[in-house]
Amino acid sequence: MSGNAPAPALTILGRQTAMELRLSLRRGESLLLTLVIPLVLLAFFSAVKVDGAGVQFLVPGVLALAVMSTAFTGQAIATGFERSYGVLARLGTTPLTRPVLLTAKTLGVVAVEVVQAALLVGLGYVLGWHPHGNPAPALLLLVLGTAAFSGLGLLMAGTLRAEGTLAAANGVYLVLLLLGGIVFPLTALPHVVRSIAQQLPAAALSHGLRASLGQGSLPGHDVLVLAVWAVAGIALAARSFRWQA
């Protein structure tokens, strides 16, 4: 192979994924959002004993929150400002293609999520959480949830200005937190609102994780909702993502 030949796509993907992970770990505010806040929420709501939200309810919900924080909010804001500062425009002049960039960012998110899950599961055990059943359905749901939220975050970051991404990502995050059945059951919501919430990725992920980790089942509706959001989000992000602001 010639010394000037471009590196194979998998090599480029591996290098960019490692870079995305290093950048994520260097962002103090990102670590606060993705690692510290979910742990604090789990400990706090376990202590205050919110009605209907014991530790068996809370751990799956906070796992869903961690995925949403990392794959959607954190990634959308970071990517939006990288685009605004011209970082992505410079990357666009290299052999790095748009699909490889988006894939690398998603894989970097997965690496952070592994650490999140380990910390949350560990704290859950300390607080008295006892999962049941086969973990395979939960892993499938986590993969689908990551794909769904990553697609939405990259779609937002690749089309809006950085300031717009910051505002929109935080606004959507708050809505999904309130309607996601994360710290209180969806049954506490009015019927119409609950029906809408059940079609959103946050509620599908939190409910699906409770079913899979509590009874070992795999709710078909939750899988379908997450799959639809994942396919739509990734397809739209890949089609509309722009290197420059």
The domain total for the chain is: 1
Determine the structural domain holding residue 207 and report its residue range: 9-240
Q: Is residue 129 part of a domain?
A: yes
Q: Is residue 16 part of a domain?
A: yes
Q: Digits of tens for pLDDT over the chain (245 positions)? A: 444 555 677 888 888 888 888 887 777 777 777 788 889 988 888 887 655 568 889 999 999 999 999 999 989 998 988 888 888 888 877 777 888 888 898 898 999 999 999 999 999 999 999 888 778 999 999 999 999 999 999 999 999 999 999 999 999 999 999 999 888 888 888 999 999 999 999 999 999 999 999 888 889 999 999 999 999 999 999 888 887 76
Q: Is residue 19 part of a domain?
A: yes
Q: Is residue 245 part of a domain?
A: no
Quickly list DSSP for the chain: --TTSPPPHHHHHHHHHHHHHHHHHH-HHHHIIIIIHHHHHHHHHHHHT-TT--HHHHHHHHHHHHHIIIIIIIHHHHHHHHHHTTHHHHHTTSS--HHHHHHHHHHHHHHHHHHHHHHHHHHHHHTT----S-SHHHHHHHHHHHHHHHHHHHHHHTTS-HHHHHHHHHHHHHHHHHHTTSSS-GGGS-HHHHHHHTTSHHHHHHHHHHHHHHTS---HHHHHHHHHHHHHHHHHHHHH--S--
